[in-house]
Amino acid sequence: MGYHNGETIKFNTPGINPYFLNEQDISKLISKNETVMQCADQVKEIYFFGAGCSSPDKHEVVSNGLSEIFTQAFISVDHDLLGSVYATCGDAEGLNCILGTGSNICYFDGKKIHDGHHGLGYVLGDEGSGTFFGKKVLLAYLYNKMPASLAAEFKKSFPAEKEQIITNVYQKPFPNIYLAGFSRFMAQHKDHPFIQNILKTGFQEFVDTNVKDYPKHKSVPCHFVGSIAYYYQDALIEVLEANGIEPGKILQKPIDDLFNFILQKEGIATQTS
């Protein structure tokens, strides 16, 4: 997303993660985007927030890759969690949660993020995430714990047999993304009592394990970013309010709010509607 001559320019690129891409990979990837290349030499500032950008050496990989394309730009690289914080909290105190394929949480005091004990990934954690719910739904089906009517619908949506599922989980790459795919089934049947129970139980586990770990969880807003939080926000809000927690922003994607925050921070007035 960019701002040029009073106009907002939006574009998409494949994900950029320095754990999987080197400097040359990043510059090559960006160079394939025609919208970006048309104005690359006019870009003066870049603020990049991405997964895997939590250490100085990873910052450098991304920064160097971007500087190959944006030769005239000042480039700032930070972790995606900070971008999420800016989009939800802005410069105010609050909790910021990510509920997408994975899950994470942090406390922001209005100036800096305070490290927690969370973000352990899908094997050890990721409570309330797409991977977490996908596994819950899949296990209910495989263990024959799902109501017959729902099980029939599940089999239509995901006809894979047990052996194929096990192969995908244990022998193929990115099993977390594979498992998260099963969570889509909940969207089609989210009003069913069985699915409602899975949602509320899962969100309660996220609250108990993650949110309640912060002493101020009842005195500051609790914001969320990610598709799981967005699409199932009714159940999420119900769980939060039952625990005396104030729901804050719930965003599917943080880009628009983050973009506006950066512009305001830099003193640039937008003309967007």
HSE-up of residue 262 (Cα within 13 Å, Cβ side): 18
Q: Say what the pLDDT of residue 133 is.
A: 96
Considering the chain, tell me which residue range(s) the CATH 3.30.420.40 domain(s) occupy: 92-251
* pLDDT: which is higher, 229 or 162: 229
Cα gap 58→80, rounded to integer Å:
13
Q: Percentage of residues in the chain with pLDDT exceeding 70?
A: 91
Neighbours of 92 (CB within 10 A): 13
CATH class of 92-251: alpha beta
20-53 pLDDT per residue, tens:
889 999 999 999 988 888 888 888 889 998 877 8
Structure letter (DSSP) for residue 92: S
**The two three-digit tokens of residue 272, written as one number:** 């967007």
- Read off the pLDDT band of 272 (50, 70, 90): very low
- Does residue 73 register a pLDDT over 70? yes
